[in-house]
């Protein structure tokens, strides 16, 4: 994956930068790991930018917007752009473990299926493209089971391995 597609940086904020909140994921990760990985761009299968909502920020950064439906209700969900942070905003009231369909919030195109997820029966990992070229070799994957925290960032070799494990 190209460096320009994600930020990998030691957390040394400029003095004039806003301080992370007391419950900040960045602060916690910076103290324990010293490195934060942030998705700065993400795209649906039709090329719509999923890093789009500039009002719902995570430590000052826009999240990844998705359209989620459990068959009874649907709405926009915004995921934290920081790898390992499970914070989400938006659609409420879905029980943990419920299987959901995940789509682009603009065109409602479902995200492509990548592989099964081992969290529960029927759950799948679906992909978000990390470059405007929509390369299958540069994707992030999220699970279709509500609340599952398994996610991955794939390169070409890992994507092939995931398909072969099915």
pLDDT over 90 for what percent of the chain?
37
Q: Is the pTM of this model over 0.95?
A: no
Report how far apart, in Å, the C-alpha atoms of 132 and of each of 11, 41, 43 are. Answer: 27, 8, 7
Q: Which neighbouring-strand residues pair with 102?
A: 68
Average pLDDT over residues 76-101: 89
Contact 152/163 with Cβ under 8 angstroms? no
Contact 36/9 with Cβ under 8 angstroms? yes
N-terminal to C-terminal alpha carbon distance within the chain: 24
Q: Which of 14-18, 103-107, 138-142, 160-164 has the highest mean pLDDT?
A: 103-107
Report pLDDT for 126.
94
Question: Is residue 38 very low, low, confident or very high in pLDDT (cuts 50, 70, 90)?
Answer: confident
> Is residue 14 over pLDDT 80?
no
Entry field: residues in the chain = 166
């Amino acid at each position: 994956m190209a460096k320009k597609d994600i930020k990998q940086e030691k957390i040394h904020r400029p003095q004039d930068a806003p301080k992370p909140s007391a419950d900040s994921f960045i602060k916690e990760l910076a103290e324990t790991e010293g490195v934060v990985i942030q998705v700065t761009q993400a795209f649906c299968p039709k090329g719509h930018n999923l890093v789009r909502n500039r009002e719902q920020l995570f430590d000052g950064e826009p999240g990844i917007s998705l359209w989620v439906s459990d068959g009874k209700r649907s709405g926009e969900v915004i995921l934290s752009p920081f790898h390992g942070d499970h914070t989400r905003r938006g659609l409420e009231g879905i029980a943990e473990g419920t299987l959901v369909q995940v789509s682009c919030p603009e065109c409602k195109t479902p995200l492509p299926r990548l592989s099964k997820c081992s969290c529960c029966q029927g759950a799948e990992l679906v992909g978000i493209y990390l470059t405007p070229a929509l390369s299958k070799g540069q994707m992030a994957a999220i699970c279709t089971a509500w609340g599952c925290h398994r996610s991955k960032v794939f390169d070409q070799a890992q994507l092939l391995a995931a398909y072969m494990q099915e």
